[in-house]
């Protein structure tokens, strides 16, 4: 592997914005960023209802008092780690299925625009971070990356999205935000999970029914 697995005994940094982001120096992180129009508002609203219903049902089953006055994030934080993991796994899978429907304008289907994102991801590879495998899909990208300093992850995310959006908007004439802000990230916990994510990145275009030239895939040499 090109980085370390998550060390639960070492310091883990939590960056709170719209959602929590966890980082650890030297640990491999799996990141997903999507374009602003990749998931319809109707789907996002449906997910909010389903998330509330999911937690309602769980709290009733385990005997926890329902607290609808709390935010969804606060209600989730009251659950134990296993239940939180089950919740996140389920809705993360729902997000990935929706992304692979290739909804929205799908500008990144164009090779010249996907290359802008790829060049951006690799620009500081080896200096600010170490980039592993990645795939750029028509409306999102997945990447495995290692940061030497835990506080550099959030800044680098912002830099990737801002720089690539500026270049793409200049070419396409798009106005407004190109990316949905705040990528999703997950620290890799095991060798098995690392291999699973590498395979997921490699297989993503086939699962989405894409043809050669409609995606940009990069695999780090073993």
Q: Nearest-5° angle of CA 110, CA 116, CA 119? A: 135
CA-atom Rg of the chain in angstroms? 18
Q: Does residue 218 sit in helix, strand or coil?
A: strand
Domain limits, the chain: 13-38+107-218, 41-99
Q: What percent of the chain lies above the pLDDT cut of 90?
A: 65
Please give the residue that has the higher pLDDT: either 222 or 198: 198
177: pLDDT strictly greater than 90: yes
Contact 145, 130 (CB under 8 A): yes
For the segment 144-157, what is each residue's pLDDT rounded down to a tens digit?
999 988 778 888 99
State which H helix or E strand residue 75 sits in: helix 72-77
CA distances from 81 to 1, 5, 23, 70, 179 (A): 27, 19, 18, 19, 30
3-state SS assignment for residue 42: helix
What kind of architecture, by CATH, is found in domain 13-38+107-218? 2-Layer Sandwich (3.30)
Residues 6 or more apart in contact with residue 118 via CB below 8 angstroms: 134, 136, 216, 218
Average of pLDDT values for 19-40?
87
Q: Structure pTM?
A: 0.86
Confidence of residue 113 (pLDDT cuts 50, 70, 90): very high
Check pLDDT > 80 for residue 14: no
61-83 residue pLDDT tens: 888 777 888 888 888 888 888 88
């Amino acid at each position: 592997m090109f980085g370390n697995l998550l060390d639960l005994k070492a310091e883990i940094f939590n960056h709170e914005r719209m959602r929590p982001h966890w980082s650890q120096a030297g640990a491999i992180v799996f990141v997903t960023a999507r374009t602003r129009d990749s998931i319809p508002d109707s789907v996002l609203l449906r997910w909010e209802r389903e998330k509330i219903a999911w937690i309602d049902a769980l709290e009733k089953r385990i005997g926890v008092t329902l607290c609808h006055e709390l935010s969804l994030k606060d209600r989730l934080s009251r659950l134990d780690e296993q239940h939180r993991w089950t919740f996140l796994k389920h809705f993360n899978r729902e997000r990935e299925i929706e992304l692979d429907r290739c909804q929205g304008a799908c500008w990144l289907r164009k090779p010249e625009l996907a290359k802008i994102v790829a060049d951006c991801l690799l620009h500081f590879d080896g200096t600010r971070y170490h980039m592993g495998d990645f795939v750029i899909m028509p409306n999102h990208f997945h990447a495995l990356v290692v940061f030497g300093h835990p506080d550099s992850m959030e800044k680098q995310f912002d830099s990737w999205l801002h720089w690539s959006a500026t270049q793409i908007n200049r070419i396409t004439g798009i106005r407004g935000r190109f990316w949905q802000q705040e990528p999703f990230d997950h620290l890799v916990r095991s060798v098995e999970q690392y291999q699973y994510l590498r395979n997921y990145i490699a297989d993503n275009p086939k699962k989405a029914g894409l043809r050669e030239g409609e995606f940009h895939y990069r695999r780090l040499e073993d």
